[in-house]
Copies of this chain bind each other. A is one copy, B any other.
Amino acid sequence: MKEIYDCDLGCPVQNTLQFISGKWKSVILYHIFKNDVLRFSELQAKLPYVSKRMLAKQLSELEADGILDKRVYPVIPVKTEYRVTKLGSSLYPVIEAMAIWGTHYTQMVK
């Protein structure tokens, strides 16, 4: 989890970007918001253009930042689940605003 001294960069938008500026983090959060809980392989299926390596990396960063909660079930084969933490759920309005804009305005430009 980031400490306060790392967090306040003098611009509220930039403070937020620290947590979601990873190339795919917002999209990952979008899908987890939509499904509540997702396994690694389910995220892979929903983000086919993201390599396994990058997906794992972004998930690990989101977990380290306290945005995602990762649960590992020691069965064989291993099963992991990702869901948002309380902090992560507070990002819902941000992701929602992106989703709304993407839904309504993207056709305008391309």
Contacts and interface: CB of A to CB of B under 8 A. Distances in A.
A101 interface: yes
Interface residues of A, number: 43
Interface in A55-110: 65-66, 87, 90-91, 93-106, 108-110
For the complex formed by this chain, how many copies does it contain in all?
2
Contact of A94 (B12, B94, B106): B94
Given A34-B5, A103-B7, A17 B98 contact: yes
At the interface, is chain A mostly helix, strand, loop or mixed?
A: helix
A96 B4 contact: yes
A36 to B, nearest CB: 12
Nearest to A104: B90
